[in-house]
Amino acid sequence: MSIAVYPGSFDPITLGHLDIIKRAAPLFDELFVCVMINSGKAPFFSLEERKLFIERTTTEFPNVKVEASEELLVNYMRNKGARVIIKGLRAMSDFDREFQLALVNRKLNPDFETLFLPSSEEYTFLSSSIVKEMARYGADLQMFVPTEIIGDLLRRAEHRNGSGSAL
């Protein structure tokens, strides 16, 4: 059985993330989308909220399982029996960082491989950080995030703004 893990902070999941899931899911018997902690980021949503958002937006993929983990990626993968890490790349700046992480992960466990999937052209500019900033100003998010989470994102942005209205 081929098992892969698509790890990320997914704060929140974007259409770019969803595009990577759609393209990776048919390649494996099981694809674990794992919400993980990035110590370099201050999350907008809790680990559990991010997990629920991904569950809501991936119901059409029977082989996709969504989990959250606070452990080291290689330990999580070992526990799942996975051998492949899926990483989406938007630009060369992503590649530099992700290539470094792939080498570290292979050093930690030489049996693991990283599969880089380039972003679809329409999502190369898209990031969760940009989406959160647009939400703070009440922008139309339909071209950027799954419709299932737009309301949650706008409410959180409104709450964080403290203004009573993000629109």
Which residues are catalytic, by number? Answer: 17, 41, 90, 128
**Tokens standing for residue 56:** 């809501």
Measured between alpha carbons, how far is 94 from 83 in angstroms, rounded to an integer?
Answer: 22
Strands 84-89 and 64-69, sheet pairing:
unpaired
Task: For residue 61, give every residue at least 6 positions away whose Cβ sits within 8 Å of its Cβ, in sequence order, or none.
Answer: 21, 22, 25, 31
Q: Which of 13, 22, 6 is nearest to 153 (CA)?
A: 13
R_g of the chain computed on alpha carbons: 16
